[in-house]
Chains A and B, each alone.
Chain A
């Protein structure tokens, strides 16, 4: 590998540092030993943001691009605060002001520029320093000094009405000084604006309290020891305490000129950013002049840095720079300005699109050449700037509709009613259903939102359009909206509610699933309805039920939960989660005796003995001598509780004994789906009673809130308050009555959260608490009957229902 070349960079500003970054990104560290000269004593910072530092909207620390560590990490030698004095082209080295000599193979000149300071009388003190109160606006130090000096001053003048001058004026205003901007040219921002735009800008600035003097040639700075005013060529003058000179830039090209490189306004470079005189010397940024242009903005200098890096590293030897498109945006005294490209039509082909509203301070002008944007000025309303700037940068063809270039037309349509929606308006994105399809469905005979949703699938995806679909159906039905009765069917395939279905089966002696379909569903069998019917028929007819296929699950037959490996889990009842050493001992003994591989505490405050063989089930039940905990069936399962009042500092109600009472009362009650209950001794809800099928929560005053329809599984729902009662007895009464109502009216496998939402809590409350249908005492009787019939299924241990009930032959699930 050839030894590395020496690359020296004069200048550590945005151009120099950027060029080095780009070179490093192209593997430059392996090609070059890099040395940089930087006359400011810092790493490299973002000069673009200096005005933010001046106006206080950004901290100095936030504008640094590369801290000093960056140079170390990348193996760059940085001569901090060392000014490069001369380039010796014949011996190919650079001399620093501190005597440093750095030899180079390749040299990059990135000396940037300085403020152009017009030759004014009285600018300096006899010792050559600026008179106190005179500033240029260029570096971080300038910024600091201006800020320090401005505090407590009355009046400041800014010489220069261009981009930088206006930014300086904005910064100064923040210090509470009265600012005047003095512009030599006949109008403000003459690089970026046309006279019309500039006039509007001037009016706005004056309204904001900034003085604007146009066509003024400043000749002298007044004041003996410090600035006291300015004098102009027309012999007028202006009093001020400080003056900031922002009259343009002057490229730092002396070092290049001294070593014989061609310099006009700046160092002349070719398309590879090399000096036209010396192929080993590159120039980049504000000190470079390319095809007559010197750029003072950051975007062009970064574009130049890229080409330079491509070329110097050999990454893309044919890389070439063809000039930059200039665009600027700024906010002057709260007025937003965006400008790009040319400011006046230059050619007969040029088409001008213009809009003016001086009163509002709005001005928009586009210059279009061959369908592409050649220039634009936006003042006041710059909402289209983002788009136009990209179209300008990229030469994108412009849409024919010129108006759309100036304004955002067709803002979001205002809310329309469902009548006004066009037929092809998409209502359901998830299922691609439009208004016309919904109307067709209504006309086809579906007169309820649910029927329409099921038929069209509208609303059956993310569900967000459900209210819209309902609205359309309501409108289309024109008052003939029907509640879809099918929402209350026990199973979808038989058009009857549960009470009606039970009645019909009993009256017509229907004992098999196929008979039910034959008689009650017109012979049309619905596969998904079968398991529900089988379960119901079994309940109604018990032993007489004609089991057409093995529709029940094994869990119900052996009163235990089957596990993956064919073994079972055994969970004895532990009411309220309160147990005794004796029970624990029995559980421990049984677990050992039957080699249970795992014993686990359940979420329902019980103990699960896992891995029990089927044939051992009756034996372990006998050994445990505890009732079944029903952890396997669609029945009442458990009532969880907290420790209640005895030991808890917060408890306001005795939740533990209530839970025990509930369990003893409701144990084993079968239901359309499982029932999980809880009681909580205070609203802190430690036992999660608010998200149970039924939960009782103690509140102040010895009262209990009864929640129904809560869930905390895959579906999470906070229960609704059914009622507030005064005693354990009432909790038992309403809980039991609610459960009976649920047993009679819920669909197959419908958990209470679905049931409560379907029926509505108001309706449920009126039936259960207000006895609006006069069925309360019948409900109480019915559940008491079931309670009285309760029999611990584990007693089957002593008396199997069938001879092979517990043999280990495994019936197949499904």
Chain B
């Protein structure tokens, strides 16, 4: 009976709350831990997370089916790995290297994300790798790089939030998606600060706000431009900041001149008075922060939406100054680190770019391969999936840490595409909806059974410790990757110890925008996490960015003139309502983990749709009725939840549920032209009572 007490972090969201796991005799319990992100608090997901560790449905052995319709059967690791490598080799021989793809996840540790990118480029030598962060962080990332030259979710630590006089939080329901973070907003309110929340729903987050702007889905750019218009009109611009620290404001001025209040009101549905109040709260505050989350980002114009809010922050001089700045609230556990180290289609470790010759040369040297062997950028997540079965599309796909059958847009079609593959390999610790489609399922270690680093929404690199030993026949993703690389005849090194991978990652990231070279496991433990960029071991880590300069070549932030455009699909006579999707407190992402925790499942057992009571009456729907929601892409069955907290014209469905309760059967895969983000947050839908 070994007693172990491990100071580690929660398996779920990007807040990465500190927690202590106490294990003895095959039981593990979660204890509170005073860590700078959560200061002891945890939400229901965190408190119950240890339920995952000894779950009866835990996968404990590799599974294989020789034919699609056969049942999955247990096999040995050698059998499974040999089968995979043989199939990959023959598929690549017949259809070329790019016929095999890799799909990663924003929940994977930095070490895994790094090694997965290396595996794709060096062992598989395919250009086809992307990850589910494409569905999550890509718009904010692209916009931040355009405007600031670097993409780190928050340019300041959470501890700065209470000191901002005004905060505009748009498209985030943090009170449910990362509850412990709310303590910073409460502290800000206590300090006399104002919080403006933009959301089509009056969420718990919006209820806590000074001002709630109940926006029409998909009209964020009009709102941001409208606020900037008012700021110009009322004389709130920080001309000196604009002059000395930014470029490109003049073009923005011309564009914004078209967003006078009654026009913006008509587009966004936000009354003029509230627009004026919001502009005043932001404009008159000595310090202000503007934070976005998936609301504006998960749109076919997500990058521009984020840029419009960045424009507002810059024009008000509320960036690159103490207790000011634009930030995005990252979603997935390692949504930040996962987007930095090379599992993205166009990217190399350290936030280097695959189309930059210097960057290619640096990484090729670290990986000890000729630069010419590095593939070019490949397709983005949805495009990779949508092209399966087409001429140059994938024939085989390896999925790590992602449950596409639930989380991808237009999920019915994506499931069809996955079924059309010659080979689908899924590494997971539960038989997720995607694993159920696989030819081979590899049982991997989870969260508390393995060690690694994650980078939270602040850009703070954290150390997740191993708290309990994994089941006997389960392997880590690092081991799986290394085994496959060897079987594929790859000569390059694939370390399997997390710390060894991290050491390589440090070297690979050195000199890149996301420079981890000064970070060590020991420093992370001693300093309660280290912020990147951290270019050497004597560097304290950059908890606050941009105070003296932005990360652009000339040190100035960039304005980008952006215009409002309608959503790719607006309501019409046939599909008269807006549909938006999102999250609830009890579940995390596709629910593959949280739907298996009894307390969470009991509290939130099935798909539901929020509808305004007046609108429900129009359709003859009562609370608790089963309803049929349809869009041009598919149909979902859900339970009606009547609430006056949602707009008359909008429906909300959480996307955590499986089977015919999948919200993503409905969503529109219209992609942002830059970030390739699908439009999860707005499409046109109809609703009717389900006649059973």
Among B159, B183, B266, contact of A389 (Cβ-Cβ < 8 Å): B266
Closest to B270 in A: A386
- The answer to whether B3 touches A463, judged by C-beta atoms less than 8 angstroms apart, is no
A457 to B258, CA, bound (A): 50
Q: A386-B270, A387-B269 are in contact. Are A404 and B180 (CB under 8 A)?
A: no
In the complex, chain A residues whose CB is within 8 Å of the CB of B520: 564
Interface bits B231-272 vs A (CB < 8 Å: 1, else 0): 011000000000000000010001001101011011011111
A587 to B156, CA, bound (A): 38
Residue A626 is within 8 A (CB to CB) of chain B in the complex: no
A528 to B19, CA, bound (A): 13
What is the distance, in angstroms, from B523's C-beta to the closest C-beta of chain A? 9
- The answer to whether A67 touches B250, judged by C-beta atoms less than 8 angstroms apart, is yes
In the complex, chain A residues whose CB is within 8 Å of the CB of B254: 64-67, 70
- The answer to whether B615 touches A327, judged by C-beta atoms less than 8 angstroms apart, is no
Residue A415 is within 8 A (CB to CB) of chain B in the complex: no
- The segment from A255-263, A395-403, A693-701, A738-746 that touches chain B is A395-403
Residue A393 is within 8 A (CB to CB) of chain B in the complex: yes
A235 to B519, CA, bound (A): 91
A30 to B43, CA, bound (A): 56
Closest to A714 in B: B36
In the complex, chain A residues whose CB is within 8 Å of the CB of B648: 387, 391, 396, 398-399
- The segment from A425-433, A627-635, A675-683 that touches chain B is A425-433
In the complex, chain B residues whose CB is within 8 Å of the CB of A404: 614
- The answer to whether A65 touches B258, judged by C-beta atoms less than 8 angstroms apart, is yes
Residue B585 is within 8 A (CB to CB) of chain A in the complex: yes
Q: A390-B266, A527-B24 are in contact. Are A462 and B183 (CB under 8 A)?
A: yes
* Size range of the chain A interface in the assembly: 35 or more
- The answer to whether A65 touches B522, judged by C-beta atoms less than 8 angstroms apart, is no
In the complex, chain B residues whose CB is within 8 Å of the CB of A468: none
* Size range of the chain B interface in the assembly: 35 or more
Residue B191 is within 8 A (CB to CB) of chain A in the complex: no
- The answer to whether A371 touches B618, judged by C-beta atoms less than 8 angstroms apart, is yes
In the complex, chain A residues whose CB is within 8 Å of the CB of B23: 527
A248 to B174, CA, bound (A): 52
- The segment from B27-35, B304-312, B437-445 that touches chain A is B27-35
A528 to B522, CA, bound (A): 24
Interface residues of A in 377-423 (CB under 8 A from B): 383, 385-387, 389-391, 393-401, 404, 410
- The answer to whether A461 touches B270, judged by C-beta atoms less than 8 angstroms apart, is no
- The answer to whether B180 touches A430, judged by C-beta atoms less than 8 angstroms apart, is yes
Residue A361 is within 8 A (CB to CB) of chain B in the complex: no
Interface residues of A in 736-775 (CB under 8 A from B): none
A404 to B613, CA, bound (A): 11
Closest to B190 in A: A464
Residue B145 is within 8 A (CB to CB) of chain A in the complex: no
- The answer to whether B576 touches A62, judged by C-beta atoms less than 8 angstroms apart, is no
What is the distance, in angstroms, from B469's C-beta to the closest C-beta of chain A? 13
Interface bits B580-621 vs A (CB < 8 Å: 1, else 0): 000001100000000000000001000000001111011000
In the complex, chain B residues whose CB is within 8 Å of the CB of A371: 618
- The answer to whether A461 touches B180, judged by C-beta atoms less than 8 angstroms apart, is yes
- The answer to whether A399 touches B614, judged by C-beta atoms less than 8 angstroms apart, is yes
Closest to A44 in B: B254
Among A385, A390, A401, A549, contact of B649 (Cβ-Cβ < 8 Å): A390
Closest to A753 in B: B34
In the complex, chain A residues whose CB is within 8 Å of the CB of B96: none
A220 to B451, CA, bound (A): 91
Q: A62-B232, A390-B216, A462-B41 are in contact. Are A429 and B5 (CB under 8 A)?
A: no
Among B35, B179, B250, B528, contact of A430 (Cβ-Cβ < 8 Å): B179
What is the distance, in angstroms, from A72's C-beta to the closest C-beta of chain B? 13
Residue A715 is within 8 A (CB to CB) of chain B in the complex: yes
Among B20, B216, B257, contact of A64 (Cβ-Cβ < 8 Å): B257
In the complex, chain B residues whose CB is within 8 Å of the CB of A394: 570-571, 649
Among B40, B586, B617, contact of A400 (Cβ-Cβ < 8 Å): B617
- The answer to whether B265 touches A385, judged by C-beta atoms less than 8 angstroms apart, is yes
Residue A63 is within 8 A (CB to CB) of chain B in the complex: yes
Closest to B521 in A: A564
Q: A386-B265, A397-B576 are in contact. Are A431 and B614 (CB under 8 A)?
A: no
- The answer to whether B183 touches A463, judged by C-beta atoms less than 8 angstroms apart, is yes
In the complex, chain B residues whose CB is within 8 Å of the CB of A389: 265-266
Residue B176 is within 8 A (CB to CB) of chain A in the complex: yes
A398 to B216, CA, bound (A): 16
Closest to A433 in B: B44
Residue B181 is within 8 A (CB to CB) of chain A in the complex: yes
In the complex, chain B residues whose CB is within 8 Å of the CB of A48: 260
Among B232, B522, B614, contact of A564 (Cβ-Cβ < 8 Å): B522
A431 to B32, CA, bound (A): 14
Closest to B6 in A: A814
Closest to A384 in B: B271
What is the distance, in angstroms, from B274's C-beta to the closest C-beta of chain A? 8
Interface residues of A in 493-539 (CB under 8 A from B): 525, 527-528, 530-531
Closest to A14 in B: B258
Q: A66-B254, A386-B269, A460-B32 are in contact. Are A431 and B576 (CB under 8 A)?
A: no
Q: A397-B576, A460-B41, A714-B34 are in contact. Are A430 and B585 (CB under 8 A)?
A: yes
Residue A49 is within 8 A (CB to CB) of chain B in the complex: yes
A528 to B644, CA, bound (A): 46
- The answer to whether B5 touches A814, judged by C-beta atoms less than 8 angstroms apart, is yes
Among B35, B175, B257, B617, contact of A429 (Cβ-Cβ < 8 Å): B175
**A387, A393, A397, A432, most chain B CB atoms within 10 A:** A432
In the complex, chain A residues whose CB is within 8 Å of the CB of B44: 430-432, 457, 461
Q: A396-B576, A460-B41 are in contact. Are A530 and B3 (CB under 8 A)?
A: yes
Residue A554 is within 8 A (CB to CB) of chain B in the complex: no
A397 to B183, CA, bound (A): 40
Q: A65-B258, A429-B175, A460-B41 are in contact. Are A528 and B612 (CB under 8 A)?
A: no
Interface bits B8-34 vs A (CB < 8 Å: 1, else 0): 000000000000101110000101101
Residue B549 is within 8 A (CB to CB) of chain A in the complex: no
In the complex, chain B residues whose CB is within 8 Å of the CB of A531: 5
What is the distance, in angstroms, from B98's C-beta to the closest C-beta of chain A? 30
A712 to B590, CA, bound (A): 39
Among A396, A400, A430, A528, contact of B182 (Cβ-Cβ < 8 Å): A430
Residue B47 is within 8 A (CB to CB) of chain A in the complex: yes
What is the distance, in angstroms, from A412's C-beta to the closest C-beta of chain B? 9
A461 to B618, CA, bound (A): 39
In the complex, chain A residues whose CB is within 8 Å of the CB of B266: 299, 327, 386, 389-390, 393
Q: A396-B648, A401-B617, A457-B47 are in contact. Are A715 and B42 (CB under 8 A)?
A: no
- The answer to whether B271 touches A383, judged by C-beta atoms less than 8 angstroms apart, is yes
- The answer to whether B618 touches A429, judged by C-beta atoms less than 8 angstroms apart, is no
What is the distance, in angstroms, from B263's C-beta to the closest C-beta of chain A? 7
A385 to B265, CA, bound (A): 9
A495 to B24, CA, bound (A): 21
In the complex, chain A residues whose CB is within 8 Å of the CB of B572: 395
In the complex, chain B residues whose CB is within 8 Å of the CB of A46: 257-258, 260
A250 to B576, CA, bound (A): 38
Residue A26 is within 8 A (CB to CB) of chain B in the complex: no
Residue A196 is within 8 A (CB to CB) of chain B in the complex: no
- The answer to whether B262 touches A329, judged by C-beta atoms less than 8 angstroms apart, is yes
Interface residues of A in 45-97 (CB under 8 A from B): 46, 48-49, 57-58, 62-67, 70
A385 to B272, CA, bound (A): 9
In the complex, chain B residues whose CB is within 8 Å of the CB of A64: 254, 257
Instruction: List 17 A-B residue pairs with CB atoms under 8 Å apart, sorted by A's residue number.
Output: A49-B257, A62-B233, A63-B257, A70-B254, A299-B263, A383-B273, A386-B270, A394-B571, A396-B571, A397-B576, A399-B615, A404-B614, A430-B44, A430-B175, A462-B180, A462-B182, A564-B522
Question: Which 10 interchain pairs have the tightest Cβ spacing?
Answer: A399-B614, A430-B179, A564-B522, A462-B182, A329-B262, A462-B183, A527-B24, A461-B179, A431-B44, A430-B43
15 additional contacts, CB 8 Å, given A401-B613, A527-B3?
A65-B257, A383-B271, A385-B271, A389-B266, A395-B573, A396-B648, A397-B577, A399-B612, A404-B614, A430-B585, A460-B42, A525-B24, A527-B22, A563-B522, A714-B39
